[in-house]
């Protein structure tokens, strides 16, 4: 599938999705969000893909926020639809059965920070800056930034950054638990691929189960403990479980097939 605002490439089982609007610091408009969602969906349905990376074109920005020019004249009803539709895409990334890493180069502000937080892991360059500056515009985050930031760094610090609109430097983001690693910009994609390649040696159905269970912990209408019990039991009916246990007993490396 061809896209207008993103670039996609698959190399050795890893799908890289690059937001490609560098002239606008990769700002998110409605079309770009929908294209990201479509690309992630394609990755989940492509058997050759075991993991995904979302990043931004150029070194200045991962995604520097939403495209304000698109919604500056929206009504409340139009704004709610924008938030709901974008939220559905972001939820689909968070619920992806295959691991998704945000490789954050430069600014990840507003919708960009929210996009990064939907990914399962975040790797930041040393120059990365995170933030939710919506209050400067008389707004609040619209793609679950108020929810996911609390999940990742706790209520007190989340409230501070949401209300002050202060940016979070990469090293502070790492200290707070917002990002998993901070690396030189030239190592950003390599580090992301290193982690995905390690995950790629594990049982794909078990990885999907892990993602589902962790997401269930934060879902208001699910019991994470029951989800884990169910997913644990489901693993026992897979060929990967039989392969994994047999490989352990035979003292060899398992060859998982996602079956």
For residue range 77-91, list pLDDT tens digits in order.
Answer: 999 999 999 999 999
Catalytic residue (one of 42, 78, 134, 228): 134
For residue range 193-210, list pLDDT tens digits in order.
Answer: 999 999 999 999 999 999
Q: What is the pLDDT of residue 66?
A: 85
Residues pairing with 56 in the sheet? 19
Q: What is the pLDDT of residue 88?
A: 97
Angstrom distance (rounded) from CA 180 to CA 163: 24
pLDDT classification of 95: cutoffs 50, 70, 90? very high
Question: pTM value?
Answer: 0.95
**Nearest-CA neighbor of 70 among 115, 33, 22, 17?**
33
Q: Does the annotation mark 114 as catalytic?
A: yes
pLDDT classification of 68: cutoffs 50, 70, 90? confident
Asked if 49 and 13 count as a contact pair (C-beta separation under 8 A), the reply is: yes
Asked if 164 and 136 count as a contact pair (C-beta separation under 8 A), the reply is: no
Task: Please tell me what DSSP assigns to residue 142.
Answer: S
- What tokens appear for 258 in the block? 């996602």
Q: Does the annotation mark 134 as catalytic?
A: yes
For residue range 155-186, list pLDDT tens digits in order.
Answer: 999 999 999 999 999 999 999 999 999 999 99
For residue range 129-162, list pLDDT tens digits in order.
Answer: 999 999 999 999 999 999 999 999 999 999 999 9
**Torsion-angle region of residue 58: left (phi > 0), alpha (psi -120 to 50) or beta?**
left
Is residue 59 scored above 90 in pLDDT? no
For residue range 96-122, list pLDDT tens digits in order.
Answer: 999 999 999 999 999 999 999 999 999
**Nearest-CA neighbor of 28 among 110, 133, 104?**
110
Q: What is the pLDDT of residue 69?
A: 83
Question: What is the pLDDT of the chain when averaged over all its residues?
Answer: 96
Catalytic residue (one of 35, 114, 172, 231): 114
Show the beta-strand stretches assigned E in the chain. 6-11, 14-19, 51-56, 61-63, 100-104, 107-109, 121-125, 129-131, 168-169, 181-183
How do beta strands 100-104 and 51-56 pair?
parallel
Residue 16 neighbours by CB under 8 Å, 6+ apart: 8, 9, 10, 52, 53, 55, 189
């Amino acid at each position: 599938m061809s896209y207008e605002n993103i670039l996609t490439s698959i190399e050795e089982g890893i799908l890289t999705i690059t937001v490609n609007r560098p002239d606008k610091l990769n700002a998110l408009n409605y079309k770009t969000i929908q294209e990201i969602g479509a690309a992630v969906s394609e990755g989940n349905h492509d058997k050759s893909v075991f993991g995904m990376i979302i990043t931004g074109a150029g070194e200045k920005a991962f995604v520097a926020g939403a495209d304000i020019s698109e919604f500056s004249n929206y009504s409340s009803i139009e704004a709610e639809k924008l938030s709901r539709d974008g939220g559905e895409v972001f939820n689909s990334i968070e619920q992806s059965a295959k691991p998704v890493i945000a490789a954050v180069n430069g600014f990840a502000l507003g919708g960009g920070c929210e996009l990064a937080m939907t990914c399962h892991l975040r790797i930041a360059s040393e120059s990365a800056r995170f933030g939710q500056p919506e209050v400067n515009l008389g707004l609040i985050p619209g793609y679950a930034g108020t929810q996911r930031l609390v999940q990742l760094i706790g209520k007190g610090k989340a409230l501070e950054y949401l209300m002050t609109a202060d940016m979070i430097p990469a090293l502070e983001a790492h200290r707070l638990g917002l990002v998993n690693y901070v690396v030189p910009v030239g190592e950003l994609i390599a580090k992301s691929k290193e982690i995905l390649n390690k995950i790629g040696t594990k049982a794909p159905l078990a990885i999907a189960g892990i993602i589902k269970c962790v997401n269930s912990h934060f879902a208001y209408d699910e019991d994470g403990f029951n989800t884990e019990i169910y997913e644990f039991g489901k693993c026992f009916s897979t060929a990967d479980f039989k392969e994994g246990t047999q490989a352990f007993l035979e003292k060899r490396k398992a060859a998982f097939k996602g079956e």
